[in-house]
Amino acid sequence: MASLRRLYPLCSSSINRTLFSASEAREGFGGSFFRGYSVIASSEQTILRPDDDCGQVAADSFITDDEIRKIRHEFDAARQCFHKVPKVLKGMPKMNPKGIYVNKNLRLDNIQVYGFDYDYTLAHYSANLQSLIYDLAKEHMVNELRYPEVCMKFKYDPTFPIRGLYYDRSKGCLLKLDFFGSIEPDGCYFGRRKLSRKEIEELYGTRHIGRDQARGLDGLMDFFCFSEACLIADVVQHFVDAKLEFDTSYIYEDVNRAIQHVHRSGFAHRGILADPHRYLVKNGELLRFLRMLRDKGKKLFLLTNSPYYFVDGGMRFMLEDSLGYKDSWRELFDVVIAKAKKPEFYTSEHPFRCYDTEKDTLAYTKVDAFLPNKIYYHGCLKSFLQITKWNGPEVIYFGDHLFSDLRGPSKAGWRTAAIIHELESEIHIQNEDSYRFEQAKFHITQELLGKLHSTVAQSQRCEAYKSLFEELNKERQNARSMMKRMFNRSFGATFLTDTGQESAFAYHIHQYADVYTSKPENFLFYPPEAWLQSPFDIKIMPHHVKVPSTLFEN
């Protein structure tokens, strides 16, 4: 989140001059100490005079007590405003839940080719899909991998996981990391039990994950990872409760193998197509967006890991109410590539194969051109560029998986658009007055705590200091807890940690996505010739709320 400016007015200028002068006198340039001098602070000036050590201690004690009283006064004044939401909040601008947020400047008039992933990019799924994947995976673990029969009683818990978590294979913990690779203090779970800060320190030694430790972490970044994270936690918890010995790396391998089996076997695909009303969301706006691009003369291609029959069934269902009987969804795309095996697609040299939709077979002839209304399987980026002659900067690719979908295109010179469905709901929460109010409370108490720490030396922390510290810390913890529960009771927001830092997931969005939004059709709200500019006044993520410094003034 963009760092918030000061949320409470500073002390008067005369007081600030006194504090600054006193600090300079005590520490000197670079922190040196003037021996044999004490400081007497007045509202007019700061006087240096020779004195003995007792006088120095007395003067320091006087300044310390005075500073604690000033911070106490600031806190009490701010706390008077904590009883109701300030009116100024209602006048603050709201962030657009359907907006396009820009990490790197993008001129849409330079984009001539639009590429799309299918799952969770063009296809919108309901929350029921996670339960389906979870149930199919646990059945595979019981029936094929011989896990205990009791695992069949597990139920998917939608309130537990978020996207962007990491699983530590060596220690068995699900972790939420911040932008700098440190473990979120309230975001470390072993099974379904949250570990305390003390337990985290005993387990890791430090909250920061170093490069060597990071090699043992597996990122759970796409939308299918919800069911995977929940199943990992449930299986670990079962073994703990049953007091059975187990290797945490095997748990991950088996759960991941089961999840992959659900996809590759087609069980999930067939389950979705068998009851599309339960799992797929119809979307006429998507058709409007794709047709608008075609009308503007843009080239379109579909590049997905899913098999053609699944994509065809899903697109027909989603667009059937607005597509019309005479038109086929395939006519919207210049090239359709299925079973592309991303991310290998971007680095391998696999050849393209033409797919016969009637016979469900692959042709043996070499593919040296993409023909209209044909379907292609496999392939690689190198061959794709040779055949199409589409240059990198004129291509933008839309996808939801940061590593499989966006990292390869980003390195290849394509522009990239991350599709993050939960962005819409999180912005709605951030726009609420109640959230912004708690956020302001958190930051002002955080600021006062920092001021208290910097003012009072370790040796001078009296009862007044301890009392104020406890009150400030309690207020800060309450605000942080309130904000977290508004998003997810276990891990909080997807893009933020509980301390207001950007998450590791936000870091990867910033690294691999030129722009990000909740749905591709949000581009309908922008002209195809628009220049999308990154805001100049943001720290990392441009969609984050910025609370003004005048919130609690007067």
- CATH code at 284? 3.40.50.1000
Residue 494: pLDDT over 90 = yes
Active site residue 117: yes
- Say yes or no: 152 and 118 in one domain: no
| Residue of 385, 378, 367 whose CA lies nearest to 339 | 378
Banded model confidence at residue 208, pLDDT cuts 50, 70, 90: confident
Tokens 């810390």 locate to: 473
Same domain for 119 and 161?
no
Q: Does a structural domain hold residue 321?
A: yes
Which candidate, 101, 102, 108, places its Cα nearest to that of 395? Answer: 108
The confidence band for 465, taking pLDDT boundaries of 50, 70 and 90, is confident
Q: 290-334: per-residue pLDDT in tens?
A: 999 999 999 999 999 999 999 999 999 998 877 664 458 999 999
Asked about 119 being catalytic, the answer comes back as yes
Give 166-184 pLDDT, tens digit per residue.
Answer: 999 999 999 999 988 899 9
- Over residues 229-287, the pLDDT tens digits come to 999 999 999 999 999 999 999 999 999 999 999 988 889 999 999 999 999 998 889 99
Query: What is the SS3 string spanning 357-389?
Result: CCCCEECCCCCCCCCCCCEEEECCHHHHHHHHC
Q: What amino acid is encoded at 139 in this protein?
A: E
CA–CA distance, 106 with 63 (Å, rounded to integer): 54
Pair 137, 253 in one domain:
yes
DSSP string, 238-285: HHHHTT----HHHHHHHHHHHHHHHHHTSHHHHHHHHSHHHHB---HH
Phi/psi at 461 (nearest 5 deg)? Answer: -85, 95
Higher pLDDT, 528 or 385: 385
Q: In this structure, are 266 and 135 located in the same domain? A: yes
Least confident of 58-67, 398-407, 490-499: 58-67
Residue that terminates a domain, selected from 274, 291, 321: 274
Q: Does 365 share its domain with 354?
A: yes
Specify whether the CB–CB gap between 41 and 434 falls below 8 A.
no
Q: In 3D, which of 467, 548, 549 has the Cα closest to residue 76?
A: 467
Write down the pLDDT at residue 552.
57
Angle at 300 (CA atoms; ends 296, 303), nearest 5 degrees = 160
Domain check: are 242 and 321 in the same one? no
Tell whether 117 is covered by a domain: yes
3-class SS of residue 479: helix
Residues 120 and 229 both lie in one domain: no
Q: Tell me, what amino acid is at 306?
A: S
Domain identity same for 228 and 300:
no
In a domain? residue 268? yes
Q: Which amino acid is at 129?
A: L
- Does residue 398 carry a pLDDT above 90? yes
Residue 336 domain boundaries = 113-124+280-389
Q: Which of 52, 65, 117, 321 is catalytic?
A: 117
Q: Chain centroid to CA 402: how far? A: 11
Asked if pLDDT for residue 462 goes beyond 90, the answer is no
Judge whether 177 lies within some domain. yes
53 Cβ neighbours under 8 A, 6+ residues apart: none
Two tokens, residue 268: 């999930």
Across the chain, mean pLDDT equals 83
Considering 368, 389, 410, which residue would you say is the last residue of a domain?
389
Q: Is the peptide bond before 158 cis (omega within 30 degrees of 0)?
A: no
Mean pLDDT of all residues in 216-224 = 86
Q: Specify the higher pLDDT residue, 406 or 544.
A: 406
| 131 and 269 co-located in one domain | yes
Q: Has residue 449 been placed in a domain? A: no
| Last-in-domain residue among 254, 274, 294 | 274
Give burial (CB, 10 Å; 0-12/13-18/19+) of 330. middle
Looking at residue 327, its pLDDT comes to: 58
How far are the Cα atoms of 168, 189, 331, 493, 535 from residue 197, in angstroms, in the given order? 17, 11, 56, 19, 36
Q: Are residues 152 and 270 in the same domain?
A: yes
The residue assigned the tokens 């006198």 is 25
Q: Would residue 504 count as lying in a domain? A: no
Question: Which of 242 and 542 is assigned the larger pLDDT?
Answer: 242
Q: Which of 66, 119, 135, 178 does the annotation list as catalytic?
A: 119
Global pTM value: 0.82
Q: Hey, what are 274's tokens? A: 């068998």
What digits encode the pLDDT tens for the residues 498-540?
877 889 999 999 989 999 999 999 999 998 889 998 887 665 6
As a whole number, mean pLDDT of residues 473-479 equals: 91
User: What's the pLDDT at 28?
Assistant: 32
Among 80-94, 294-308, 394-408, 428-442, the minimum mean pLDDT is found in 80-94
Query: For residue 457, what pLDDT is reported?
Result: 67
Of all residues in the chain, what percent carry a pLDDT higher than 90?
58
Residues 117 and 131 placed together within one structural domain of the fold:
no
Specify binding-site residues.
117, 119, 400
pLDDT for 417-443, tens place per residue? Answer: 999 999 999 999 999 988 988 888 888
DSSP assignment, residue 44? S
**Residue 180, in any domain of the structure:** yes
Note whether residue 27 is domain-resident.
Answer: no
Residues 163 and 254 in one domain: yes
Q: Which residues in 42-110 belong to E strands, given as ranges?
A: 46-50, 101-102, 106-107
Neighbours of 32 (CB within 10 A): 9
Report the number of distinct structural domains present in the chain. 2
Q: What is the predicted pLDDT for the residue at 437?
A: 86
Q: What's the per-residue H, E or C state across 96-154?
A: CCCCCEECCCEEHHHCCEEEECCECCCECECCHHHHHHHHHHHHHHHHCCCCCHHHHHC
Determine which of 26-40, 144-158, 452-466 has the lowest per-residue pLDDT on average: 26-40
Average pLDDT over residues 114-143: 95
